[in-house]
Amino acid sequence: MASSESSLPIPFATVELVELQRASDTDIAGYFSFIEVPAGTWTLRVSAFGFETLEQRIDLGVDAARTVDLVLDPDPLRIPGITVEAAKTADPAGPGAFKIDIEAAKVVPALAEPDLLRAAQILPAVSAASDYSSALYVRGGAPDQTLVLLDGIPIFNPYHFGGVFGAFNPDAVASVDVLPGALPAGYGDRLSSVVSIRTREGGRGDHQGSGGFGLVSARATVDGPLPGGKGSYLFSGRRSYLDMVGGGITGDGIMPRSYETGFQDGLLSVSHEVGRFGLLSMTMFADQEWIGLPDSNANLVDYDWNWGTRLGGLRLQTPIGPSRTLSLRAGWSDFTTSLDSRWQSGAPGSWDPTVRARGTMRDFLVGGEMEWWVRGHELRVGAVSDFYSMDFDSWRAEDPPEGFLEEYVPQMKMDESLNTVAAFVEDQWKVTDALHIRGGVRVLSSGGGQTEWAPRVGARLDLSRGLSFSLGAGRYVQAVHSIRVEEAVGTNFMSYDLLRPVDPAEGFMVSEDAVLGVAWVRNAFSLRLDGYVKRAEGLRLPAIPVDPRHAQVLEPEDFFLGEGEAKGFEVLGQYGSGLTGVWLSYAFVRVKNTVDGVEYTPRFERRHTLDVMTRVSLPDGIRLTLRNVLATGQPTTPANGLMWPLEYDPLRRGFDNDLPSQTLLLGDHNSLRTPTYWRVDVGARFSYDKELWKRPISLSPYAEIINLLNLGNVVFWEPSSPNRKDDPFLQLPMTITAGLEWSF
């Protein structure tokens, strides 16, 4: 099913067999099917928001199959609001995904420019380590336990500026689904959650474009039809310009003085109909970042640091008969980094190398999935094979300059690979119109002979007046793990992660969860409540740092088999629709990890988080946003005392206790919490519709303020004596950003 204007598929349209009182929804590619339809002449009625309703008579013989191509004419309307009540949902049985509205996400106050990953943090299941990080901590799981997919291809480190914001241009994205638990068998292989990002298809009617200018970067997106009218393309690009205009960022303790940094990214999406073989889609993504030093620092130290991500994938989706579809995909993803630094040791022109580091993570994958519908059952069967390769090699001078980046780079040499094969089968059964049941199993096997079975179940009961109950549980398996030290304070400022394969001799990492949910939708109001419990074993965890404030962020070698558990309760309420309404999110979570016999609360845990956002649309295209976040402080390690080292003086035959240095005696790990976190953000946008070169164009200038009240939220303390907090490192200060967005 497609639009007559753009030839784009129409997803989630309602298709009815009027006389038989049967209905179905189209999928993301516009396909639908009815099975066991008796012979006769029937009326097929199709309706979708924004399109004219279509009725078409079809003749069906005995034991015959019929393929019908439907084209709907657009019927755009400008209305103040609409209420939709649906008896059918495309979500799988069990607790569903959180779906992020892309247009609404664009108005969430963010740093520098709209950010989909930071917008995901308004969900109750998702939290952040600090204001400086867009890494996703989902229901007590570390970021390496969340699988981020771009059009079905895993992506490593989808961040810019060290993790300050995400690498995805929202103008090029069609949907973002966050699955925080009770995952269907088709998703894996991570312990905690899945974030599925899908790029939008280009239009097939006319070429169109959009973009924006912010304080940090400029972006542009263009899409349109391919020659022949059976395909479309979309290209999106972005480039920062701080380094081009002489700007930079001032370092504090990690980088010397100031440095210049930049980034760029690009995405290409192409889709084309291939006759009876269905739809062939291609996605290509790449980004690159770099750090350099201005000339004023060139006589002291020299840095050459760059890193980036590349991703590519092909997907063929084809219908096989009236009740089956086949999807095949292949892709690759890699992340590379390179760092060289030199220190001027003496005379001008005399340089000593201090760091040489290289790193690469790769994943090649091939897979396929078959889906068909039989007598109220939706059966899915599939398999995917991943080929992981992780290669890291770094050297550091034994005595690097104190206070510089070199202190935080470990020496390591690693070249490891792993091949995994996952297969799954799952059946979703529509028992009645109100009761849906899902059951399946996923199997993960490695080249080392390790095999784990992961059964998963779910159920949903839809009652009257928009009330539904859901229950889901599952077992999950993970074959790679992070070498980042989550308990090091430095992880507050670095979202980038390096992974390595698990040792097959020690087994995979395994987790289990159970989720109970209640949802209520009534007119413009929706409410969702989820309660969950999780436990994990076989976690690869480094030893707890002696002093988290000065610990290295990466630990390449020494890991223990640890355990983790989390339990929590979440509330998500929304009133209104579109860009006007109120969003309320509350989360309670309690997390415990155990490593080397020590039980502790992870640094990223916020026991309570309340997030309230109000969006108001005013006349003349004015949109205002107010966001208020109130949360429990994060765990930190207290200082219990001071110790002065004693040095024996043989001439005086005594100890010298007048040494200037002192050692801070720390208490139990994470036994104290920072003060309550409170942040208020505001944003304003103005929309103008103009005509330029005889074409309509929309302009949207915006301004946003992060931390409007400039509250001194604390990341951590650097105490100089017991129980003193006189040297706090603060979260983001009041930050103002402005920009202009456009579309035609």
Q: Under a CB-based contact definition with an 8 Å cutoff, are residues 210 and 221 in contact?
A: yes
Average pLDDT of the chain? 85
d(CA 57, CA 42): 6
**Which of 176-190, 298-312, 711-725 shows the highest mean pLDDT?**
176-190
- What is the 8-class DSSP label of residue 436? E
Helix/strand/coil for 338: strand
CB atoms within 10 A of CB 19: 10
What is the C-alpha radius of gyration for the chain, rounded to an integer number of angstroms? 28
d(CA 57, CA 161): 57
List the single range of 131-140, 198-207, 425-434 with lowest mean pLDDT.
198-207
Helix/strand/coil for 223: strand
Judged against a pLDDT cut of 70, whether residue 724 lies above it is answered with no
- For the stretch 39-95, pLDDT in tens is 888 888 888 766 788 888 888 777 666 777 778 777 654 444 333 333 333 467 889
pTM recorded for the entire structure: 0.84
The predicted model gives 600-628 an average pLDDT of: 92
d(CA 34, CA 447): 42
Per-residue pLDDT at 490: 86
The predicted model gives 536-565 an average pLDDT of: 91
Tokens at residue 725, please?
């907090």
- For the stretch 343-385, pLDDT in tens is 776 666 677 788 889 999 999 999 999 998 888 899 999 999 9
Judged against a pLDDT cut of 80, whether residue 298 lies above it is answered with no
Q: Is 444 exposed, middle or buried (0-12, 13-18, 19+ CB in 10 A)?
A: buried
Tokens at residue 384, please?
């995917």
Q: Which uninterrupted H or E stretch holds 378?
A: strand 377-396
Only one residue has tokens 């206790």, namely: 657
Please give the C-alpha separations between residue 131 and each of 114, 651, 678, 709, 711, in angstroms, as whole numbers: 15, 54, 11, 15, 13
Q: Under a CB-based contact definition with an 8 Å cutoff, are residues 11 and 28 in contact?
A: yes
Per-residue pLDDT at 734: 93
Per-residue pLDDT at 80: 40
d(CA 19, CA 25): 17
Residue type, 228: G
Q: Pairing relation of β-strands 412-430 and 377-396?
A: antiparallel
d(CA 698, CA 729): 42
Q: Give the closest residue to 471 by CA, choosing from 511, 441, 513.
A: 513
Helix/strand/coil for 590: strand
Peptide bond into 189 cis (omega under 30): yes
Per-residue pLDDT at 254: 41
Residue type, 434: A
Per-residue pLDDT at 77: 45
d(CA 142, CA 193): 10
Q: Under a CB-based contact definition with an 8 Å cutoff, are residues 211 and 237 in contact?
A: no
Q: Under a CB-based contact definition with an 8 Å cutoff, are residues 585 and 644 in contact?
A: no
- Name which residue leads in pLDDT, 482 or 398: 482
d(CA 440, CA 476): 12
The predicted model gives 707-722 an average pLDDT of: 79
Strands (E), 226-323: 231-240, 249-250, 258-273, 279-292, 301-319
